[in-house]
Amino acid sequence: MKILNFFRKKRKFIDDIFGALAYKTSKDESENFYYGEVKFQGEYIGIDITANENGPTKEQKKFFNKLNIEYIEINEKIILPFLKEEFEGNVEKAVIEKIDSEFKLDGMTIGIIKNDKIEWEITYLSILLKCYVLVGFLEMEPKYIKIIE
């Protein structure tokens, strides 16, 4: 039976906010997630949403909508200053001076909301650095940055 499950096509899930999503399962159910592409700020980006087989929660959808509405302000007041601080002294000055146009939004991961707190990540393509830059958050506070080459 397990062999048949291996070859079974993963089901598509149509969500009212995120659209068509595929579902990826793991032995550890806390690592199960939906993935696909979603329109965010007028562009399609990759999206991963940690969730069970019932799909993204109302809270995750509400959080995504809030990000989409408030993204320009979040980007200007939280994300760009964090990137400037993280990269200052580590990269060329030209990158820091053009940081608002240097990073192209690529994707987002929305975690499970626990105790009214959410962990989430946003990924950018750095044009000058030729790599991906992932910023991890708890709520609206950036916690870490990862460079993915």
Whole-prediction pTM = 0.84
Task: Output the pLDDT for position 48.
Answer: 97
Q: List the Cα angle 31/137/103 in 5-degree steps.
A: 105
DSSP state of 76: I
Task: Output the pLDDT for position 1.
Answer: 44
DSSP state of 149: -
What mean pLDDT is predicted for residues 57-84? 93
pLDDT at 67 over 90: yes
Domain boundaries, the chain: 2-148
Task: Output the pLDDT for position 65.
Answer: 97
Task: Output the pLDDT for position 92.
Answer: 59
Mean pLDDT across the chain: 86
pLDDT digits (tens, 9 = 90+) for 81-138: 898 888 776 665 555 565 667 889 999 999 999 898 999 999 999 887 788 999 999 9
Q: How confident is the model at residue 2 (pLDDT cuts 50, 70, 90)?
A: very low
Cα distances (Å, whole numbers) of residue 100 to 72, 85, 103, 123, 127: 11, 13, 7, 14, 11
Residue with the two structure tokens 């105790």: 115
Cα distances (Å, whole numbers) of residue 10 to 23, 30, 37: 6, 18, 16
